[in-house]
Amino acid sequence: MSELPEKLFANPVWHALHSKHHKFANCSGQACRYAADVVPFAAINTPGVEPMRQLQSLFEPGDSAWIIGKDYEEIPGLVRGKTLECLQMVLPDGVTVPDTETEIVKLSDANADEMVALTTLAFPGFFRQRTCEMGSYYGVRSPSGELIAMGGERLKLEGFTEISGVCTHPSFRGRGMAAGIIWQLVREHRKEGVVSWLHVANANRRAVELYLWLGFEEIREVMLHHVSRVA
């Protein structure tokens, strides 16, 4: 595996919502979005003013989401916010998955509050109450039972499943827990016959270096644009 299909990965949110994640989709013409309590992502299929108007119709006043793409048309009532440069990375088929001694537990919807609390320490606002419904999630607990590390699945495409939500409580970093969770996910993906891939903020060099060390390859840079509807 040397690259991610351009057709899918130039606009992964659109393709996820029109395939594996259609049950989460709110759509209007050439625009779609995940429900706000699932994940703050939206997409348009074709650049232009009308698709952006259709996207605006899917937002409640004061609502916001991130769009992946090079750029988009600005329209009245839909405000452009900050941008975030990210890398798309993929794990090649030839990378060997090591065994791990980390004790990993399966998480469920019942653990949503814990997952939101932990991810808020690392990337506030991206993990919502129903994000855990997008795929499988795993975690590590402290001896006292506190959730101290986690990771799981986000965007699902035909043949490709995104690893996301990987984080460790600041007091427990450097113990290999995040790597153990990633390998657990990769093992599941290979059983299912899908390729593991991910997004990571370009500025988060600690995470980028971890993924490179694990064997992930940088494929391309993408830009996330934050947009919000005027309240």
- Identify the CA nearest to 199 among candidates 170, 175, 229, 219: 219
Rounded mean pLDDT of the chain? 94
- Identify the CA nearest to 9 among candidates 219, 230, 228, 149: 219
pLDDT, residue 102, reads 87
% of residues, the chain, pLDDT over 70: 98
Q: Is the dihedral of CA 85, 66, 51, 90 positive or negative?
A: positive
Instruction: Please check whether residue 114 is in contact with residue 147, taking contact to mean a CB–CB distance below 8 angstroms.
Output: yes
Does pTM surpass 0.75?
yes
Give the contacts of 225 (CB within 8 A, at least 6 positions apart). Answer: 66, 67, 68, 69, 71, 72, 80, 81, 83
Domains and CATH numbers, the chain: 6-85+224-229 (3.40.630.30), 89-222 (3.40.630.30)
Interval 43-60 mean pLDDT: 95
Q: Tokens 């827990």 sit at which residue? A: 177
- Identify the CA nearest to 149 among candidates 183, 190, 125: 183
Interval 58-67 mean pLDDT: 96
pLDDT, residue 70, reads 82
Sorting pLDDT into bands at 50, 70 and 90, what band is 6?
Answer: confident
**Tens digit of each residue's pLDDT (9 = 90 or more) over 86-140:** 999 999 999 999 988 889 999 999 999 999 999 999 999 999 999 999 999 999 9
How many Å apart are CA 214 and CA 74, to the nearest integer?
39
pLDDT, residue 2, reads 47
- Identify the CA nearest to 65 among candidates 88, 87, 32, 89: 32
How many alpha carbons lie under 13 Å from residue 87 in its C-beta half-sphere? 17
pLDDT, residue 231, reads 79
How many Å apart are CA 170 and CA 156, to the nearest integer?
29
pLDDT, residue 99, reads 87
Our CA angle for 65, 228, 114, nearest 5°, is: 40
pLDDT, residue 3, reads 58
Instruction: Please check whether residue 71 is in contact with residue 145, taking contact to mean a CB–CB distance below 8 angstroms.
Output: no
Interval 151-174 mean pLDDT: 96
Cα separation values, 6 from 48, 103, 108, 169, Å? 20, 37, 33, 35
pLDDT, residue 4, reads 65
Q: Tokens 């469920």 sit at which residue? A: 108
